[in-house]
Every structure is written in C-alpha cells, then in structure tokens.
C-alpha cells in the first residue's frame, strides 16, 4: 500500500521550491568535475551557502544518469528511499529503545512514512528534508546504543558512528548544529566522559573541514552582486532579514528577535503540528503550495500541539533520553530564523507522533485519577486508536490528492503541478527562442539554468545592479516563479514583453534591449 501511494504521487515537478533546483545544480557541478560551485553564474568558482551533504548524495545519481530532466525520477528516488529507511529505523528505535509494543512501534513507523508533508517533499520536490529526517533519527538511535553498551569497544564504535551520522546530518542541513551539541551533553549526562571526548573529536574531524573551507572561500562582495539571491549570502547576514534570503523586505533588530521566536512558536503549534497529524485540514501544505493557514485546522492544531508538549514533558520526567535533549536544541536555530517553520519541523514527524501518543496516554491517566474511574481504559487500545486516526487522515489526504492528480478536468488537478507546468512551458519557450550564449535575469536562476542551459543571475535590487547587468550583456528577463506575477514591476512597465504564458501565474519574458544602448535605470512616474 505504501509503495503504491508513493508510486501514484511521484511526478516531474522540480524547482518550484528554488532550493531543490539549487541542490540538483550543485549535484551536477560535482558530478561533472566542476567542483562545489554555482555553475550557473557567469563567473566560475563561486561557493554556495548550502552545506554539501545532500548535493553530494545526489551527485552519485547524476553520474549514473547525467541528463536532466530525464533523471528526475532517479533523483527523487533518493528521498523516497530515505522515507522507507526512516520507517524502518523508526520501528527499531521505538520498539527497542522506547520499549513500545510491536504493533505500536510499527504504527508509528507507518504513520511517519505515510505523513503527507514528507510524502509531498519526497515525490513533488527534490528537497533534503527526508534524508535529513532519516539521518537525524539514525543519529538518535546510534547515540542511545552507545550509551547503553557495556563493552568499551562497542561504546567506542557507536560513539564514532553517532558522530559521523550527526556530522552528515549537519552537512545536510546546518540547522542540525544543535544535534552536534546534544551528543556531547547527553554522553556527559550519562557520565561517559571519555566517549564524550571521542564523540567531540570525531565531530570536529568530520565537520570542521567544511566549516573552515566555506569560511575561507566565502563569496566576495563582487560575486554576491553578480549572482544575487540567498545562495551566496552567509547565514549571519540572512539571520537579520525579516524573511531570510529576501533582504529587500527589510531587516529586524535584536529587540525584534523575541517577537520572531514567539511567532515561529505560534506557527509550529497553530499550523505545523496539525499539518503533520490531521493533514486533510491543511490542503495547502499537503500540496506544498506554500499556503500558511488552514482555517478551522488552526483551531485543531493548537490542542494537538498541547498534547504533544504534554507527552514530551511527561516522557522527559520519567526518563530523559537523547531525543529529549536533541529535539529542543535542534529547534533553537529554526525558531530564531526568519522563515516558514514547516520544513524545519516536518523531519521530526516520528517524534511528533510518539509524543502525541505519550501525551494522550498521560491525559487518560490523569482523567482516570481525577474521576476515580473503576474501569481503567487500556493504554494500548488508546495508543492504537490514536495511531489509526492519524493514519486514516493521511490516507484520506493521499486519496484526495491522487484523485485530483489524475482528474480529466485540468482545473481540478493539484495547483502545485499546474504551477510547475506553467514554469516549464515558459522555460521551454526561452530555451527554443533566446540566444544560447546570453545571460538570463530571472526570479529562479537555478531552475532557469537547469531547463535552458543558459547562465543565469537572480533578480533583486534592480536599481543598484542595473549597470552590472548591462556589463554582463543581459538582454532578457525570464520571469519564472511559483507565484502569480503582474506587469506592475518596474522592469515590465519600462520594457517590452515578448512572451507570456496563458495560465494563471502570468509568467513572461521581457526584452530589455541591447545592453550597449540601454537607457539608465529609471523608476516609472507615479
């Protein structure tokens, strides 16, 4: 059943998240021997912001099948395989490390594997969340194994393995920096001081080379101006953006940070937890459309989040394991980051489900104590019923999506797919009609590069970068984006549109004229 759902949901969509197009582009760079660089930029040798873990994994498959987009299903198989691995490790972890009954451990694993947000990320993007989730859970399992081993050689082996997995998780997504610290704290808590030192030394050996290299090779100001966008801006710069990666929106100050953290907490509790557990109430997130709120779903998500928090607290009070340290520390970085929290929370789905069960069991015990009930409800039955409800919600969400995907009515098909097809049509036109040696200006430079093979730079701060674009010989502005566009932007009002899609997004190509004769940038009259 699970395999059938993945098979029916997988599609050709890639690049709408922008980040997934960057992952593929960087994988191509590594597979073709060009190094870990932003190969779409006119100048070569520009180091990206992203750590290399996930692109390096994808590059292995780019070597097997180098032609894009023909290799898109092979690239998506990485995340799909990671999801099945996540389910397998979740079963082992919750059965052996958490002493859950066999059918409950299997239910948690199945519910996590069927989670619509993760399935969407695996089948409708080429994002790193699924691999990150697998690596995070594997790290938790291995560190726990190290803590309870009696033989020194096994303790050492698992400590080094845990350091390697934690480092790979960090090199997949930098937000796992809290996971690195959690390993040290937990081993010290278990009074395994030698193992804590060995773990720390191993983490340094695995992670420091990239950190030093990326610091020494950080993009220069000139390189940042050339490429634009978030791919070449450091985390320290993006941290102060109101929306990380979008400096044009504005910046925050230190005094604004508590409000940001609080809003992110509200987003997680009022949206993300519900999207994981009762996804049909959040159709926007089940289709990766970027819709943030789900109406009545928000009123459901908050109580569910409260139960998850109760489960976490009661579990930690009974026995503090590695996950009770690793999860809070791993959430510190996302909570302070100015971006939608959904992608940061989704990889922890197995733990969200587990703590929901623990919270439901705690509430049931308290209710029985307060009411002095003579008949005690079976904890196993309660956990089983909760799991069944979660799984049924996921199955309903998948059935609804698959039905719409194969609908004969084009307007009923998922909006995510329709947006991709509109972007694809625009880029096909650009590939067939624009000069092959030209540099393109675009909202989504990695996706434009993948589908046209042209060098690309990102559109931002047009007044400041106008002269640079003229120097680069840029003539065409390819306005591809996963959101609706209009003619109200300054470039579209000043220059001629040579192509426009017929669909709802209004994507188009603007001819900026010959660079040598192009007039200086002027804002349109009010």
Mean pLDDT by 10 residues, the chain (526 residues): 93 94 97 95 92 96 95 97 97 94 94 95 96 97 91 92 97 94 95 94 96 92 90 89 87 93 93 89 54 62 94 94 96 93 94 95 83 59 88 93 90 90 94 93 95 94 88 92 71 82 85 76 46
According to the model, what pLDDT value does residue 461 have?
86
Distance CA 446, CA 453 (A): 10
**DSSP code string of 287-325:** TT------THHHHHHHHHHHHHHHHHHHHHHH---HHHH
d(CA 236, CA 234): 5
Tens-place pLDDT, residues 148-196: 888 889 989 999 999 999 999 999 999 999 999 999 999 999 999 999 9
Closest CA to 380 of 129, 99, 52, 53: 99
What's the rounded Cα separation, in Å, for the pair 283 and 468? Answer: 42
Question: Which pLDDT score is estimated for 1?
Answer: 83
Q: Is 511 helix (H, G, I), strand (E, B) or coil?
A: strand
With CA atoms as reference, report the closest residue to 344 among 326, 323, 330, 324: 330
Write down the residue that tokens 């049931």 correspond to. 364
pLDDT at 115: 95
Identify whether the C-beta of residue 179 lies closer than 8 Å to the C-beta of residue 166. Answer: yes
Instruction: Determine the pLDDT at residue 316.
Output: 95
Residue 375 in tokens: 């008949």
Buried b / exposed e across 470-481, counting CB within 10 Å, b at 16+?
A: bebebbbbbbbb
Q: Which of 272, 250, 270 is nearest to 338 (CA)?
A: 250
Task: Give the pLDDT score at 31.
Answer: 96
Q: Strands 496-500, 508-511: parallel, antiparallel or unpaired by DSSP?
A: antiparallel
Long-range contacts of 63-69 (CB under 8 A, 24+ apart): 63/31, 66/28, 66/31, 66/32, 68/24, 68/28, 68/450, 69/12, 69/14, 69/450, 69/451
Q: What is the pLDDT of residue 348?
A: 97
């Amino acid at each position: 059943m699970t395999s059938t759902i993945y098979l029916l949901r997988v599609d050709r969509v890639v690049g709408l998240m922008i980040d997934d197009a960057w992952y593929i582009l960087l994988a191509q760079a590594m597979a073709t021997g060009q190094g870990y660089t932003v190969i779409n930029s006119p100048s070569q040798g520009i180091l990206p912001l992203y750590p290399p873990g996930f692109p390096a994994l994808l590059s292995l498959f780019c070597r097997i099948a180098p032609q894009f987009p023909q290799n898109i299903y092979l690239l998506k198989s990485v995340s799909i395989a990671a999801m099945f691995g996540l389910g397998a490790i979740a079963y082992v972890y919750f059965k052996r490390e958490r002493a859950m009954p066999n059918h409950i451990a299997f239910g948690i694993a199945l519910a996590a594997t069927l989670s619509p947000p993760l399935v969407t990320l695996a089948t409708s993007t080429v994002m790193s969340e699924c691999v990150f989730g697998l690596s995070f859970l594997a790290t938790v399992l291995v560190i726990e194994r190290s803590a309870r081993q009696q033989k020194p050689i096994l303790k050492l082996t698992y400590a080094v393995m845990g350091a390697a997995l934690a480092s790979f998780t960090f090199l997949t997504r930098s937000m796992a920096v809290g996971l690195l610290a959690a390993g040290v704290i937990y081993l010290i808590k278990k009074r395994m001081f030698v193992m804590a030192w060995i773990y720390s030394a191993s983490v340094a050996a695995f992670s420091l080379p990239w950190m030093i290299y990326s610091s020494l090779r950080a993009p220069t100001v000139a390189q940042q101006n050339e490429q634009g966008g978030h791919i070449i801006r450091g985390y320290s710069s993006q941290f102060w953006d109101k929306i990380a990666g979008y400096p044009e929106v504005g910046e925050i100050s230190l005094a604004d940070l508590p409000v940001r953290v609080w809003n992110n907490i509200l987003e997680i509790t009022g949206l993300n937890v519900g999207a994981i557990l009762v996804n049909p109430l959040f159709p926007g997130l089940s289709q990766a459309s970027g819709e943030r709120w789900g109406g009545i779903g928000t009123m459901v998500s908050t109580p569910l989040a409260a139960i998850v928090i109760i489960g976490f607290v009661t579990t930690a009070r009974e026995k503090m394991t590695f996950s009770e340290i690793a999860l809070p520390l791993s959430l510190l970085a996302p909570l302070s980051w100015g971006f939608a929290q959904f992608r940061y929370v989704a990889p922890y789905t197995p733990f969200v489900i587990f703590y929901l069960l623990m919270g439901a069991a705690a509430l049931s015990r308290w209710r029985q104590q307060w009411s002095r009930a003579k008949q005690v409800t079976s904890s196993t039955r309660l956990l089983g019923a909760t799991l069944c409800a979660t799984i049924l919600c996921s199955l309903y969400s998948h059935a609804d999506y698959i039905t719409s995907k194969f609908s004969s009515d084009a307007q009923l098909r998922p909006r995510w797919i329709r947006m991709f097809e509109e972007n694809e049509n625009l880029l096909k036109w650009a590939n067939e009609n624009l000069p092959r040696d030209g540099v393109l200006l675009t909202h989504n430079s990695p996706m434009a590069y993948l589908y046209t093979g042209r060098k690309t730079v990102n559109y931002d701060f047009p007044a400041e970068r106008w002269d640079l674009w003229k120097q680069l010989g840029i003539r065409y502005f390819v306005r591809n984006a996963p959101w609706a566009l209009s003619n109200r932007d300054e470039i579209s009002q000043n220059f001629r549109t040579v192509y426009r899609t017929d669909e709802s997004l209004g994507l188009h190509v603007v001819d900026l004229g010959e660079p040598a004769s192009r007039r200086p940038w002027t804002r349109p009259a009010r």
